Amino acid sequence: MSKKLYKDVNGYKIEDRFTGLSNDLKIEMLRKMYEIRHFENEAEQFIIRGMIHGTCHLYTGEEATAVGAICAIQSDDYITSTHRGHGHCIAKGADLNIMMAELLGKKTGYSKGKGGSMHIADVRSGNLGANGVVGGSIGIATGGALTCKMKKNGKIVVCFFGDGAANQGIFHSSINIASIWDLPVVYLCENNVYGMSTSVKEAFNIKRISDRKYAYGIEGLTIDGNDLIEVFNTISYFAGRCRTGKGPVLVESLTYRWSGHSKSDAQVYRTREEIKEWKERDPIKRYREILISRKIITEKDDSDLEKEVMNKIQKASEFARESPFPDPSEVEDDVYA
């Protein structure tokens, strides 16, 4: 089947690979977005009830970027994530029970309670980890891509990072090396308008973060990160390009975080109107409406799906609450030096 041209941006002839997907896959993407949304709602409840010892950065409102991008790559490809990592982790196929347990610092969590929200990794599913250091994963992603190239295993890496991270030195030095070595990385900048309280307007003097591609001699563009189909098609296209040895790309995904930056944030730096405007561009609502209008699901299917997901989240929450805390004697386990 010849693929329809989806978009011609900056000369990129991005094909529509979404339309040809099976209905199951299309619905799976909606399910994943619901999982993220409701996982974050439950995490927020934990925060409110004082059950999270540390902090949590919620991904609510940004679901389409993680799900669209991760569904566009192979299940054995790698990703690197950020402090706002729950969405990437879920999209990559992590177990919700084990994730939730980690948030509560339980022994049954991904890091046996040692990492918490900011350090969930699921190496088995190719998730090389959330990261507490802004920009910290950009080098790791680039190294992962070097492995892919040296082992010629055909895999690629999707490196998620925020707009804030794009101003760290490691962004520059890593992307430059990836460019000169043609490493298979999709650098995916989630521009959610703020890095903590600092707006992108304040932190950049360029219109588009993706314009930095010119400095490294690589390809890239800016997309609507709240449009799952656009994310999926773009990342499919660029992942394919990476896989053929054409080097890294820089994609900027425009989105917005609905919640405060972390556990405590009075949000003095933005207005209610702005938040409201962005909530109207809810990525889940947009995608659900498309599926309904294309008769892939009915309203009822949709609400059944959401209920099913909510149940699953409740089960995960119970599992986490009922799990034991680690024993203090485990504190030096996994220490080798």
Partner 1 sequence: MLKNNARQLTYLEALREAMQQKMRADNDVYLIGEDIAEYGGAFGVTVGMLEEFGSERIRNTPISEEAIIGIAAGSAITGMRPIAEIMFSDFITIAMDQIANQAAKICYMFGGKARVPMVIRTAGGGGTGAAAQHSQSLEAIVAHIPGLKVVMPSCPYDAKGLLISSINDDNPVIFIEHKLLYKNKKYTNSVPEEMYEIPLGKGDIKKGGSDISIVATSYMVQKSLEAAEKLSLEKGIDCEVVDIRTLKPLDIDIILNSIKKTGKLICVEEAPVFGGFMGEVVAQVSEKGFDWLDAPIKRVAGRNCPVPYSLVLEQEMIPGVERIEKGILDLLG
Ligand X SMILES: Cc1ncc(C[n+]2csc(CCOP(=O)(O)OP(=O)(O)O)c2C)c(N)n1
Q: What residues line the site for ligand X (CB under 6 A)?
A: 57, 83-84, 132-134, 162-165, 192, 194-196, 257, 261
Q: Which of left, alpha, beta for 155 (phi over 0: left; psi -120 to 50: alpha)?
A: beta
* 52 sits near partner 1 (criterion: CB under 8 A): yes
Cβ atoms of 96 and 38 closer than 8 Å: no
The alpha carbon torsion through 241, 255, 304, 117 (nearest 10 deg) reads 90
AA letter at 253: S
Rounded to a whole number of angstroms, the minimum distance from the CB of residue 186 to partner 1 is 21
Whole-angstrom CA distances from 329 to 120, 170, 332, 334 are: 22, 37, 7, 12
SS3 of residue 219 by DSSP? strand
* 105 sits near partner 1 (criterion: CB under 8 A): yes
Among positions 162, 220, 225, 326, the unique one binding Mg ion when judged by CB under 5 A: 162
Residue 296: name the closest of 90, 28, 17 by CA. 28
Residue 203 interacts with, from ligand X, partner 1, Mg ion, none (CB under 5-8 Å by kind): partner 1
Residues 198-237 that bind partner 1 (CB under 8 A): 198, 202-204
Report residue 178 CA to chain centroid gap: 21
* 163 sits near Mg ion (criterion: CB under 5 A): yes
Nearer Cβ to partner 1 (74/198): 198
Residue 33: name the closest of 285, 307, 314, 284 by CA. 284
SS3 of residue 333 by DSSP? coil
Among positions 3, 7, 114, 246, the unique one binding partner 1 when judged by CB under 8 A: 114
SS3 of residue 153 by DSSP? coil
Nearer Cβ to partner 1 (126/326): 326
Nearer Cβ to ligand X (137/236): 137
Enumerate binding residues for partner 1 (CB under 8 A).
Answer: 52-55, 102, 105-106, 111, 113-116, 118-119, 131-136, 164-165, 167-169, 195-198, 202-204, 268-269, 325-328, 330-332, 335
Enumerate binding residues for Mg ion (CB under 5 A).
Answer: 162-163, 192, 195
